[in-house]
Amino acid sequence: MSNGTQSTAQVGSRLALVFIFITMLIDTMGLGLTIPVGPRIIAELTGHTVMNGKAMSDAAWWGGWLQTAYAGMLFLFSPLIGNLSDRLGRRPVLIVSLLALGVDYVITGMAPTIWWLFIGRTLSGIAGASYTTANAYIADVSAPEKRAANFGLVGAAFGIGFVLGPALGGLIGHYGVRLPFFTAAGLSVANALFGMFVLKESLPKEKRRKFEMWRANPIGALFAIRRHPVIFSFVAIYILMRLAHDANPVIWTYYVYYKFHWTTADVGYSLAFLGIIMAIAYGFLTRTLIPKLGEARAAYIGLMSGAIGFAGYAFATQGWQMYPWMLVWALMALAMPAINAIISKQVPSNEQGEVQGALSSVGGITSIVSPIILTDIFAYFTSPRAPFIFPGAAFLAGAAFLALAAALLIRARHHFSARDLSPASETAT
């Protein structure tokens, strides 16, 4: 390839990464807007007029089932969405997913009863493959040695979105608990329009493969990834990591409302701070540490940092203590890009969507179970039935999941190539 052609390809790749970064940024802002007010709208729709400990405990229980409804649809439909992106391309799948998410926010904002929230979450779960498709998109436009760093862009967008989204959501929530949902709907539609007019397709027609229904379901997808031993060895690690990760979105607001009596603004500020440090971790640390450490070692450090951070949350005695523990927990950002890079190297370009869909389906299985487990742990240890009150029990469970995942990662090291275990020979850009 000539220098001129190579330079043009590199510019095109970088522009594509900018496009996907902005797409995920706006998408995450929409999600972050709703987090500070989510428990309050659930409490309102379940008949609570006073936001006391009982209201938060009951809202956490309903919130767990809402998350399970979303995860159930994600489990069932992620392989279908992933396979469709391998057949039709990434761009149309992303656009439809974003439009469906906007409809979900409108339904939630107008919901007269709790059951309308379930309708909205079911719909968003069916089309909730935007992150999965984004990962396939990044794999399409990235050289293998640069994928770990570029996968970190999704996390960086997630972090920056959580700076802007929750802070704005906490402020808007003062004017009505439903207003952030309509704002999020507007952002989702704007994001879809952005994709229609700006986002370029990453999977050329000649690289697309035939759609096969037997591979486009959870069971078929899991059988399909058995053809790749390294990927299959990561399933248990991935499950444990997702079980733990769900502790933050599922438990955080209930925990700080209950234990520290924070306001919606306080929640927004805390999530904004978390977003800042996650953006730094994903945007800069992944690009510098993963090439130096090697992907497997970086994943191990990320898992153990997450475990220590969760334990810190669990035993915090004052609200300000959550902030330094966030700094420790943020190093978990190393784990997912490193693991995604290891996995993506094992499959050709026309199977990236299928593999990401299968992994998302596995994540959906855990997300069906984890909200119930974690919210039940929280509800139990904050209720009169508990032998002692310990609202941090769910975070401690998350720490245990991550520590076990780190142990399994060490045990699975014989599957890794020397490239994954050693510092990379090239610096990702």
Q: Domain span at residue 157?
A: 13-198+219-421
Domain count, the chain: 1
pTM, full prediction: 0.64
- Whether the Cβ atoms of residue 169 and residue 268 lie closer than 8 Å to each other: yes
Instruction: Kindly tell me if the per-residue pLDDT of 158 is higher than 90.
Output: no
Tell me, what's the pLDDT at 40? Answer: 76
Which band of pLDDT confidence, cut at 50, 70 and 90, is reported for residue 396? very high
Which band of pLDDT confidence, cut at 50, 70 and 90, is reported for residue 179? confident
Average pLDDT, the chain: 76
In the chain the first and final C-alpha atoms are separated, in Å, by 19
Q: What is the mean pLDDT of residues 52-58?
A: 70
Query: Does residue 213 lie within any of the structural domains?
Result: no
Tell me, what CATH number does 261's domain have?
1.20.1250.20
- Structure-block tokens of residue 2: 């000539």
Query: Does residue 273 lie within any of the structural domains?
Result: yes
Long-range contacts of 220-229 (CB under 8 A, 24+ apart): 220/79, 221/78, 221/79, 221/82, 221/83, 221/354, 221/357, 221/358, 221/361, 222/358, 222/361, 222/362, 224/354, 224/355, 224/358, 225/355, 225/358, 225/359, 228/346, 228/347, 228/355, 229/415
Query: Does residue 204 lie within any of the structural domains?
Result: no
Lowest mean pLDDT among 4-8, 15-19, 257-261: 4-8
Query: Does residue 143 lie within any of the structural domains?
Result: yes
Highest mean pLDDT out of 25-29, 105-109, 142-146, 404-408: 404-408
- Whether the Cβ atoms of residue 420 and residue 295 lie closer than 8 Å to each other: yes
Query: Does residue 64 lie within any of the structural domains?
Result: yes
Query: Does residue 291 lie within any of the structural domains?
Result: yes
Which band of pLDDT confidence, cut at 50, 70 and 90, is reported for residue 232? low
Per-residue pLDDT tens over the stretch 320-349: 999 999 999 999 989 888 887 777 776 766
Under 8 Å CB-to-CB from 356, ≥6 apart: which residues?
A: 82, 132, 133, 135, 136, 139
Higher pLDDT, 33 or 371: 371
Q: What is the mean pLDDT of residues 155-165?
A: 71
Higher pLDDT, 166 or 285: 285
Q: Report how far residue 197's alpha carbon sits from residue 203's, in angstroms, rounded to the nearest whole number.
A: 17
Query: Does residue 297 lie within any of the structural domains?
Result: yes
Query: Does residue 427 lie within any of the structural domains?
Result: no
Q: What is the mean pLDDT of residues 14-43?
A: 70
